Amino acid sequence: MEKAPVLDFESFDTACIVTNLLTYRLFTRIPSFFPKTAGSAAALCTIFASLLAFVLIWIISAVLYRIPRINIIDAAEAAFGILGRKLVSGFVLFYLGVSSIVILCELSEFAKLISFPTAPFAFCAMFFLAAAILGAFGGLDALARLHRLFVPLSLAILALIVVSTLWDADLSNLFPVLGRGAENVFGNGILGIVMYTDIILLFLIAPPKKPRTKVPKITLAAAGISVFAVSAVMFAFTVRIPYPISSEGQFPIYLLLKEIHYGRFFQRIDAILLLAASLCGMLYLSLNLFFFTHILKRDFGVSDTKPLIPVTALTAFFAAIGINFISAQILSVLLFCSGFAVLAIFLLTIIFVKVRRRNFDEKA
């Protein structure tokens, strides 16, 4: 039998991947950046950062989709030559590595917090590590299908949480409207884009087969739904958890969850959230690991990626244990820096592509 068509920009699978990439960080401690930065204006700050991210995604997609059969790394090569290619690949690899370690740390901490307060960190991380290795071995096609299964579930749970918390919302938590000041909300708030930097994987997944004048609706819709979901959760968080409790650096989604009581039967839905977070986290880590080894193979001449998958995963595992032992703050800083570096490179590439369009089209 002929193989089914592989992942495409227009497919529902890609939309699910985009959604997971953009919403997954809600399950980590990263969103606590917003209340820390903006205080009672955390929701406003999130909406601002989300809108910026959406525009950014739209611009990159709109430029990149016009050129068929190349992804962002090919674009970098066309724009800056082979050195540009290596540089972008290197930065993407660095970002993927840092991001994987951060998520592994956060996910394991989250599982530990809900299920095993006394268990060692490595015990929790072990499950995610094993899942990531198996997922990367499974390949992109299988991972895309799994996104189709699990991401709607995750979105449904997020929606349930938002609806359940808005029931007892205290709108006075939104005041003062500008929280810690306009400078913090709209100045430092730009850093909140780091919530969405994982979108870079979208530009590595599958270059369009034909040039397009418009960004596919499904991709834009997925990005829109995702930024809306993040904004909605942070809005619910802001109206439910007053500042300064909201800025304590805990997992915001977990704090929000503790506010929900579903009558007599389900006292809390922590366990269900853990299930969704774990499944989506495993998908996220698998995808990261897959792309890490894929880029190594494509751009750095590694011929066989299969042995590389467990090696890379184990390296991330030990790095996560080590860094978690020293200080998780280092990772956050690294993540912010690398996220912005990658975004900057992407934008630079896009600008060059735009300027040297004719030359570029010929190469493509």
Partner 1 sequence: MTLKSLILYQSRKAPDLASLTPPQKSAENNPGINSYIKNNIKDKSSFTYRVGKASPVLAENLRFIRDAFECSKNFDMVIREFKIKAENRFIDAFLIFYDGLADQTLINRDIMRPLMTSGISCTSDREFENVVYECMLSQAPNTKICEMQTVIEMVGFGNCAIFVDGCSCAFVADIKGWSKRGVEKPISEAVLSGPQEAFCETVMTNIALVRKILKDPNLIAENIPVGTKSKTTCALMYINGITNISLVKEARRRLESIDTEYIFSSADIEMLIEESTVFPFPQLLKTERPDRAAAQLSDGKVIIIVQGSPFVLILPATAADLVESSEDNYVRVAEANFMRLVRLIGCFLALFLPGIFISVVLYHHESIPTDLLFAIEATREQMPFPIVLELIIMIMSFELIKEASIRVPDPIGSTLGIVGGLILGQSAVSAGIASPLLIIIVSITALGSFAAPSVSISRALSVMQFVFIFLGSTAGFTGLAFGTFVLALYLASSRSFGVPYISALDESESPFVISPIWRREKRPAALLPQRSIKQPHISRKWKGDA
Q: Are 11 and 221 in contact (CB under 8 A)?
A: no
Contacts of partner 1 in 228-287 (CB under 8 A): 264-272, 274-275, 278-279, 282-283
Q: How many Å apart are CA 256 and CA 238, to the nearest integer?
A: 9
Interaction residues for partner 1, span 17-56 (CB under 8 A)? none
Between residue 76 and residue 115, which ones bind partner 1 under the rule CB under 8 A?
Answer: 111, 114-115
> Contact between 8 and partner 1 (CB under 8 A)?
no
Sign of CA dihedral 97, 98, 104, 107: negative
Q: How far is the CB of 292 from partner 1 (least distance, A)?
A: 18
Give the one residue of 86, 148, 212, 297 binding partner 1; rule: CB under 8 A. Answer: 148
Nearest-angstrom CA–CA distance, 346 and 76: 8
Distance CA 267, CA 238 (A): 23
Segment lying near partner 1 (by CB under 8 A), choices 73-81, 94-102, 124-132, 169-177: 124-132
What number of other Cβ atoms are within 10 A of residue 123's Cβ? 12
Smallest distance, partner 1 to C-beta of residue 279, A? 5
CB of 112 to partner 1, least distance (A): 9
Part in contact with partner 1 (CB under 8 A); list of ranges 36-44, 142-150, 200-208, 215-223: 142-150
Given the complex with partner 1, which of 137 and 318 has the nearer CB atom? 137
CA distance 124 to 108: 5
Q: Which is nearer to partner 1, 24 or 196 (CB)?
A: 24
| C-alpha to C-alpha distance for 294 and 137, rounded to whole angstroms | 11
CA distances from 362 to 32, 61, 72 (A): 46, 20, 16
Quick note: the x/- pattern for partner 1 over 190-219, rule CB under 8 A, is ------------------------------
Query: How far is it, in rounded angstroms, from Cα 285 to Cα 152?
Result: 18
- Cα separation, 327 vs 346, in Å, equals 30
Binding site for partner 1 (CB under 8 A): 1-4, 111, 114-116, 123-124, 127-128, 130-131, 134-135, 138-139, 141-143, 145-146, 148-150, 264-272, 274-275, 278-279, 282-283
